[in-house]
A and B are shown apart, each in its own frame.
Chain A
Amino acid sequence: MSTFLTDTEAMITTWHGISAPNGTGLRLAAELADTIAAFEKLRGTLVFEDEPASFEAALQATKETAA
């Protein structure tokens, strides 16, 4: 078992009190390394002023005005 997976399991247990339910969970937890890699590629795109609440404003800003 990789150090990454061991650390991930320990972190989930410590922070949430949840154990790996099965092998599928462990396998997918190991694949979080791919998630980290995907985020690494996106570094530098988050702007200081970005905030979650801007999504509803974006829906309005980009909406269909005349169908």
Chain B
Amino acid sequence: MSDLADLSMTEAADAVRAGEVTSVALLEACWRRMDAVNPLLNATIWTDRAGAMTSAEAADIAVRNKAKLGVLHGVPMMHKDMYYQAGKLSTCGSALRRDWRPTVTATVIERLAAAGAYTFGGLNMAEFAQNPTGHNKTFGDCHNPWNPPYITGGSSSGSGASVAARFNYMALGSDTGGSIRLPASANGVSGIKPTQTRVSRYGVMPLSFTHDNVGPLARTARDCARVMTVIAGHDPRDPTSAREPVPDYEAALTGDIRGLRIGVPANVFFDGADAPVVAAIDAALAVLKTRGATVTRLTLPLMDAVAAYGGIVSRVEAATIHAEWMRTDPQAYGAHISGRMYPGYAIPAPYYVESLSRRGPILKAFAAAVFSQVDVLVTPTIRTCLPTLAETDIDHGPPSTETKFMAVSANTRPFNYLGLPVISVPCGFDPNGCPIGLQIAGRPFAEARVMQVADAYQRDTDYHTQRPPSVPLGLKD
């Protein structure tokens, strides 16, 4: 076997369960790769090598003892540094929590551990999950493995970079306006934002009560499916989590999408799109058509309302959560973080309540108009070629930098207000060698369908298997 760090998460898990490799070997492979490439990428904030080795050795003993093994048995992982683990560091990417250690453990971390996974560190992220680029004043910017001067996307910057650089099999990200899908797209990995309420948020740093989502970034749609089967479902400790049955998402990955009706938006999502991105999406649609899908161009309704209302909700909720620190220690934030929260305090309560009140009726009207015609929507995840860190540095650039900064998440934000499940998978490269993402959205609780489409696409393409040029070969066991 070549470098173990090159395995997908499901390959790694299955190899451990079958006794073909040890968990210790997987962990050491990840460490070697991390030590080689992370100085260039800055994707991690902290590591716990001793604790991880203890977990790896225990996992290997369980295999030797023929114990009952979970579907993620012996797989080392690192997550965005906002998933609480009692007693362990959780910086939330901010100087304000540089040394903070929570007293509770997130439900999703417990569920991953119950399936046999363990963590070996915490990943870089936008400060308090509040930008779409990966800039971070306190811990340093995260760099794209495909072309380091370019953004990783945010806010789950280290999640995307570490998986792409092949020193992490799977990373949890969080998605309030695109923060799973953007780094998935920018780094050439797969990432799913589930339906709002699908996954528990207990023990996860909040940003926007009504828009936050938890989900995986991994190398393949199959990896995402296995993780979703483990982490989805109601949690008594998160009363907002849905009481919806959880299927075996991985079992639904049949590759059969015959008769699937794909919708491609004729408005909004391609406005100002760059030609290489449009070409990559067209090519992806052609692949899906060869598997028996049909493609329809349609105009999406209510997009002005979705944009206006969605922007209000997340801004007000973020401002509310951070009000005390904004009063007492505003300079501890990056300038663009505090600057973007500040207007949230001037938004009238009736605007906020109107925005929440319209969310249900708008979803109903949107679903009736769109999902009566098509089964899924396909768009670019990011509609332009990837910008550089410098081009989107609104702390140091001219005011016009804000336009490029906001454009990054223009295609992801609408789905957070609508609450729909959306996956991003790699579908090409721009002229700078940076990945392009294919975004696939479905009805509420249609995670199985969007992952099935993504998996079908990955059966006929190899973008998800390609290696960033910054990741060295030859780190064999």
Question: Which residues in A have some Cβ–Cβ distance to B below 8 Å?
Answer: 8, 11-12, 15-29, 31-32, 35, 38-39, 41-42, 45-47, 50-64, 67
Measured CB to CB, the closest approach of chain B to A17, in angstroms, equals 5
Find out whether the CB atom of B444 lies under 8 angstroms from the CB atom of A25: no
Find out whether the CB atom of B346 lies under 8 angstroms from the CB atom of A29: yes
Find out whether the CB atom of B360 lies under 8 angstroms from the CB atom of A21: no
A-B contact pairs, 19 of them (CB 8 A): A12-B342, A18-B323, A21-B339, A39-B354, A50-B357, A52-B356, A52-B360, A53-B360, A55-B356, A56-B242, A58-B359, A58-B364, A59-B195, A59-B196, A59-B197, A59-B445, A62-B443, A63-B443, A63-B446
Q: Is residue B459 contacting chain A, with contact meaning CB distance below 8 A?
A: no
Contact status of A24 and B339, CB under 8 A, knowing A46-B358, A52-B359, A64-B449 = yes
Query: Which of B85-93, B105-113, B282-290, B303-311 contacts the other chain?
Result: B303-311
Q: Is residue B97 contacting chain A, with contact meaning CB distance below 8 A?
A: no
Query: Which of B9-17, B153-161, B325-333 contacts the other chain?
Result: B325-333
Find out whether the CB atom of A18 lies under 8 angstroms from the CB atom of B304: no
Contact status of A46 and B445, CB under 8 A, knowing A12-B346, A55-B359 = no
Q: A47's closest neighbor in chain B, by CB?
A: B361
Find out whether the CB atom of A35 lies under 8 angstroms from the CB atom of B443: no
Q: A31's closest neighbor in chain B, by CB?
A: B343
**Complex alpha-carbon distance, A11 and B399, angstroms:** 24
Find out whether the CB atom of B346 lies under 8 angstroms from the CB atom of A32: yes
Contact status of A24 and B449, CB under 8 A, knowing A42-B308, A52-B357 = no
Measured CB to CB, the closest approach of chain B to A64, in angstroms, equals 4
Find out whether the CB atom of B327 lies under 8 angstroms from the CB atom of A50: no
Measured CB to CB, the closest approach of chain B to A60, in angstroms, equals 8
| Complex interface: chain B residues within 8 A of A61 (CB) | 364
Q: Is residue B452 contacting chain A, with contact meaning CB distance below 8 A?
A: yes
Q: A23's closest neighbor in chain B, by CB?
A: B339
Q: Is residue B273 contacting chain A, with contact meaning CB distance below 8 A?
A: no
Q: Is residue B62 contacting chain A, with contact meaning CB distance below 8 A?
A: no
| Complex interface: chain A residues within 8 A of B100 (CB) | none
Considering only residues 161-210 of chain B, those with a C-beta below 8 Å from chain A are: 195-197, 210
User: What 1/0 flags go to B289-306 for Cβ under 8 Å of A?
Assistant: 000000000000000110
Q: Is residue B312 contacting chain A, with contact meaning CB distance below 8 A?
A: yes
**Complex alpha-carbon distance, A7 and B309, angstroms:** 23
**Complex alpha-carbon distance, A51 and B333, angstroms:** 35
Q: A15-B345, A39-B351, A63-B195 are in contact. List 14 more A-B contacts (CB 8 A).
A: A8-B343, A11-B346, A18-B330, A20-B342, A27-B339, A41-B308, A42-B304, A52-B357, A54-B357, A55-B196, A56-B360, A57-B360, A58-B363, A58-B367
Measured CB to CB, the closest approach of chain A to B321, in angstroms, equals 13
Find out whether the CB atom of B339 lies under 8 angstroms from the CB atom of A35: no
Find out whether the CB atom of B242 lies under 8 angstroms from the CB atom of A59: yes
| Complex interface: chain A residues within 8 A of B333 (CB) | 21
Number of interface residues of B (CB under 8 A): 58
Q: Is residue B49 contacting chain A, with contact meaning CB distance below 8 A?
A: no
| Complex interface: chain B residues within 8 A of A28 (CB) | 339-340, 342-343
**Complex alpha-carbon distance, A17 and B475, angstroms:** 55
Contact status of A18 and B343, CB under 8 A, knowing A56-B197, A64-B449 = no
| Complex interface: chain A residues within 8 A of B275 (CB) | none
Q: Is residue B442 contacting chain A, with contact meaning CB distance below 8 A?
A: yes
| Complex interface: chain A residues within 8 A of B354 (CB) | 39, 46
Find out whether the CB atom of A50 lies under 8 angstroms from the CB atom of B394: no
Find out whether the CB atom of B308 lies under 8 angstroms from the CB atom of A67: no
**Complex alpha-carbon distance, A63 and B360, angstroms:** 13
| Nearest 5 A/B pairs, CB to CB | A24-B339, A54-B360, A25-B342, A64-B446, A52-B356
Q: Is residue B335 contacting chain A, with contact meaning CB distance below 8 A?
A: yes
Find out whether the CB atom of A21 lies under 8 angstroms from the CB atom of B338: yes
Find out whether the CB atom of A38 lies under 8 angstroms from the CB atom of B326: no
Q: Is residue B58 contacting chain A, with contact meaning CB distance below 8 A?
A: no
Contact status of A50 and B360, CB under 8 A, knowing A16-B345, A21-B326, A59-B197 = yes
Find out whether the CB atom of A24 lies under 8 angstroms from the CB atom of B195: no
**Complex alpha-carbon distance, A63 and B347, angstroms:** 32
Q: Is residue B336 contacting chain A, with contact meaning CB distance below 8 A?
A: yes
Measured CB to CB, the closest approach of chain A to B220, in angstroms, equals 19
Find out whether the CB atom of A51 lies under 8 angstroms from the CB atom of B357: yes
| Complex interface: chain B residues within 8 A of A8 (CB) | 343, 346
Of A25, A38, A52, A63, the residue contacting B343 (CB under 8 A) is: A25
**Complex alpha-carbon distance, A57 and B346, angstroms:** 30
Q: A30's closest neighbor in chain B, by CB?
A: B343
Find out whether the CB atom of B445 lies under 8 angstroms from the CB atom of A63: yes
**Complex alpha-carbon distance, A19 and B341, angstroms:** 12
Measured CB to CB, the closest approach of chain B to A4, in angstroms, equals 10
Q: Is residue B448 contacting chain A, with contact meaning CB distance below 8 A?
A: yes
Q: Is residue B390 contacting chain A, with contact meaning CB distance below 8 A?
A: no
| Complex interface: chain A residues within 8 A of B442 (CB) | 64
Q: A62's closest neighbor in chain B, by CB?
A: B367
